[in-house]
Chains A and B, each alone.
Chain A
Amino acid sequence: MKLILSFLVSIVFFVSNADAQKIYATRNGKISFSSPADEDVKAVNNEVTSRIADNGQLTFSLLVKGFKFKLAEMQDHFNDQYAESNKFPRADFKGNIVNPSDVKFDKDGSYKATVKGDLTLHGVTKSITANGTIEIKGGKPVVSCQFTILLKDFAIDAARVTDKVNVDVSCQYQ
């Protein structure tokens, strides 16, 4: 009975078919960032929760303390002085694929997609647009995209280190 219940719950979380809409999810997607000005400034977060629906809706949530730097000192500075991760522990993105009809979720292949939505970081919400790729492999999507954010747009004063970071998204969904 327990096994059946767990199975049903997994289906509800990972592949929902409400209103014929299919939702794919992950709790362990990957988002990294790096500074074009300093090669030491780079970090990766492997604990990104994300959901993508075949109607084009897309959400990402990550915990700022989940970003891992090679240098412990830099990680401490990032959390304490720049991202203020105790005050703003989470970053969220909620948006849509602008061209959902170009992505065939039911057919394996690689599709170009443009995503537009609101990114909330450091307590500030800004609209962003990013171009990327959605690859359908074995019926499951893999989302890849890169974009650049200006730190001052999110009230992060890191001018001594860098004024912008390149963000790399790579999420494999179930």
Chain B
Amino acid sequence: MKRWLKILLILIGLGILAGGIMVYRIYNKPHPDVTKEKGVELSAQNLYDAFRTNEADANTKYLGKAIELTGEVAAVSKNQDGNTVVDFKTNDPLFVINCIFIKAPGLLKPGETHTFKGFCTGYIPDANVVINEGVLVK
């Protein structure tokens, strides 16, 4: 076999291998795991105050970040896909911190105080701050 043909075949082989590795990585990259993250520790009230007083600043600090949130449970429900949702109280009766669990946290009741860790997806004025992909810390 001619030398140039050998080199060409080796280059094609390397290209296919590199492409395969890239596709494998794209299809197998894991989603962030909040249990492996060090969360920013906040009370439900402090998180609400941060967004209400300066949304842009709070977005910079908390959007997409792991938050370890402590607060009083206002309500427990399920979303349309069956995941547990816990609303934590703020001092505004119409506003809650809406937390979605990745797996059922066990029996939680309104009035109890709990700590939840998840990723903050942002703020919807007059409604809630949302934290999802979360787990119960205590």
Contact = CB atoms under 8 A, between A and B. Distances in A.
B95 to A, nearest CB: 9
Nearest to A66: B121
Contacts of B119: 65
A75 B26 CA distance: 11
Contact of A47 (B26, B31, B93, B98): B98
Nearest to A10: B75
A144 B127 CA distance: 22
B80 A72 contact: no
**Could you tell me the dominant secondary structure of chain A's interface residues?**
mixed
Contact of A46 (B64, B83, B127, B128): B83
Interface residues of B, number: 35
B53 interface: no
B128 A72 contact: no
5 contacts: A30-B79, A61-B127, A73-B26, A73-B29, A90-B124
B80 A49 contact: no
Interface in B83-100: 83, 85, 87, 93-94, 96, 98, 100
A28 B85 CA distance: 8
Contact of A72 (B30, B77, B96): B30
A49 B29 contact: no
A148 interface: no
B79 A89 contact: no
